[in-house]
Amino acid sequence: MIIKQISVFVENKKGRLAAITDILAENDVDISALSLADTSDFGILRLIVDKPDVAQEALTKAGVTVKITDVIAVVMDDVPGGVAQALKVVSDNDISIEYMYACVGKTTGKALMVIRTEDTNRAEKILCENGFGKVNPAYIYRI
Amino acid sequence: MILNPEKECMPREELRKLQSQLLVKQVKRVYENVECYRNRMDAAGIKPEDIHGIEDLSKLPFSYKRDLRDYYPYGLFAVPMKDIVRVHASSGTTGKRIVVGYTRNDLDMWAECVARMMTAVGLGAEDIVQVSYGYGLFTGGLGAHQGAEKLGATVIPMSSGNTALQIQTMVDFGATAICCTPSYALYLGEEAERLGVTNQLKLKAGIFGAEPWTEEMRAQIEAKLGIKAYDIYGLSEILGPGVACECECQAGMHVWEDHFIPEIIDPDTGEVLPEGSTGELVFTTITKEGFPVIRYRTRDICSLNYEPCACGRTHVRMRKPTGRSDDMLIIRGVNVFPSQIEEVLLNVSHNDITPNYQIIVDRVNNTDTFDVNVEMSEQLFADDVKSIEAIEKTITEKLRSTLGIGAKVHLVNPKSIQRSEGKAKRVIDKRKL
């Protein structure tokens, strides 16, 4: 399933992350997944939240640089080899992953991952065909 | 010692007469040969015949750095290219450089100006002069080089960079004088100390210019290198190094008035200010053939002292410039205009919005640091690290090729650059000069 991810530019300065999560809290936005890519100068905070539009608006209003990116939510069995199986499908189909991170799911027995690939639509189609892509939106957006 | 006593010690009245004669000739020549000046004089209703001597100088219109851009590259030359034997270039107010040209006579005159100074600080044919200014389009290296050769001294054409080799050369080749930027001299002094070779140096004098420095720095350099440190002033548009320089009295820089007429004006009104006032320095080159200027606005703020000097020279002394009447910065000896940075950023962002930026200059361990903070915007932002790093790299590379020196680029949060009265403060210069 293709979902909306919020990417935020974070200058490498004390207190920046707290300021961003504060804004989300004030706007009653719930975070399901989060990852931080960092360099010596800056970071990119990637978030999956229950209300992406609300989050984007609130952050932009606060002067934070935000972008919404399409990523794929992948569901798999929460057993040894679960991730390996999903990634094998990706790799067998010659799709390269730009980044990925784990997501907090609400169901038991299933694990959720967020992945970003080059051709999002094709990758999602292939994952769905192999049983990794059909995610109940409620798992992610926590509706 | 005085290299050319006839000229350097000429009674002021005679000097004024000489300046008048040369000025009248120069104005006529420039009017006939340079379109920019002809147009400007026509617009002001001034003909060469109206200029009878130095008393008429203030009737002439000013010339500006932007003229060099408008007539890039050779439009302001007053002789055919076959008579130009060399060009030099430096940074303009935008990405475009400014170009100046010299005839054979100009080079000889330049060499004499520098040789006069070297003589004035006690150097002669027996000296070994290490030239550590950059060689190339920058006037510093070749300017000092040809002056030292004219003097008959032995020249070590080191150029800039490679500090360890600089020190090794000074020691091995027995350099008795060095020409470089004052901050680099201080750095060399510290490195020599660290390497424990200070007592092996044979230096007695240093000629330092191309960037602002203080009396405290002078004292430090003199102590560290065990030399006398002398100040030299120049700019490519007038000549290069050697327009003015100190004598052994270290009490102001003698402007070689048989070649250059200095004036001090109010930068806002353009009025000539009374003797001794502080204002913008303006030059007219009365002997230059290739690239002459009439009333060129240097944008340097200083004052002139017409009192006789203890050295016996009659030529006026200019005080060290205390600032600029424009926003030019001198970083590691290189002229930098904020507008150049703006231009680079405009080219990098894919729309017509220039990202907000701030230049931060400081001096750490006697070397200028140069940081450019650029506010992240939605146009520049991408979801992956690679793209953002690529933007950072592009900005860094373009700044280097435009400015000729390296800047550290930092992408910062939007609206994080402080603003005063709604306008972002573009430059923070923390150097205490």
pLDDT at A143: 41
Pairs of CB atoms within 8 A across A/B: 55
Residues facing B17 on adjacent strands: none
Judging contacts by C-beta atoms under 8 Å, the chain B residues touching residue A63 are 413-415
Is the pLDDT confidence value at A54 over 70? yes
Alpha carbon of B163: minimum distance to chain A alpha carbons (Å): 29
Q: Report strand pairing: B423-424 vs B419-420.
A: antiparallel
Judging contacts by C-beta atoms under 8 Å, the chain B residues touching residue A64 are 413-414
Facing A42 at nearest CB: one of B377, B384, B388:
B388
Give mean pLDDT, residues A77-90: 89
CA-nearest residue to B377 within chain A is: A65
Residue A13's pLDDT band (boundaries 50, 70, 90)?
confident
User: Is A9 within 8 Å of B415 when comparing Cβ atoms?
Assistant: no
Among residues B378, B359, B371, which one has the least CA distance to residue B418?
Answer: B359
Interface ipTM > 0.90: no
E strand intervals along B269-426: 278-285, 296-305, 317-318, 323-324, 329-331, 334-336, 357-364, 367-375, 408-412, 419-420, 423-424
Q: What is the pTM of this model?
A: 0.78
E strand intervals along chain A: 2-11, 31-38, 42-49, 66-77, 97-103, 110-117
Please say whether the structural domain B329-429 has been given the CATH code 3.30.300.30: yes
C-alpha to C-alpha distances, B415 to A27, A133, B71, nearest whole angstrom: 21, 40, 39
pLDDT at B228: 97
SS3 per-residue string spanning B306-334: CCCCCCCCCCCEECCCCEECCCCEEECCE
Tell me if B132 sits within 8 A of B148, measured CB to CB: no
> For chain B, what are the domain ranges?
1-325, 329-429
SS3 call for A53: helix
Alpha carbon of A28: minimum distance to chain B alpha carbons (Å): 24
Is the pLDDT confidence value at A107 over 80? no
- Cα separation of B261 and B251, whole Å? 20
The amino acid at residue B343 is E
Facing B385 at nearest CB: one of A16, A44, A69:
A44
Q: Which domains does chain A have, with CATH numbers?
A: 2-69 (3.30.2130.10), 70-141 (3.30.2130.10)
| Tens digit of pLDDT at every position of chain B (433 positions) | 999 999 999 999 999 999 999 999 999 999 999 999 999 999 999 999 999 999 999 999 999 999 999 999 999 999 999 999 999 998 776 667 899 999 999 999 999 999 999 999 999 999 999 999 999 999 999 999 999 999 999 999 999 989 999 999 999 999 999 999 998 998 899 999 999 999 999 999 999 998 888 888 899 999 999 999 999 999 999 999 999 999 999 999 999 999 999 999 999 999 999 999 999 999 999 999 999 999 999 999 999 999 999 999 999 999 999 888 888 898 988 889 888 888 888 888 766 566 788 999 998 888 899 999 998 888 788 888 888 888 889 999 999 988 888 999 998 888 788 766 556 678 999 987 6
pLDDT, tens digit (0-9, with 9 covering 90-100), for B260-295: 999 999 999 999 999 999 999 999 999 999 999 999
Tell me if B344 sits within 8 A of B399, measured CB to CB: yes
CATH fold for the domain made of B1-325? Rossmann fold (3.40.50)
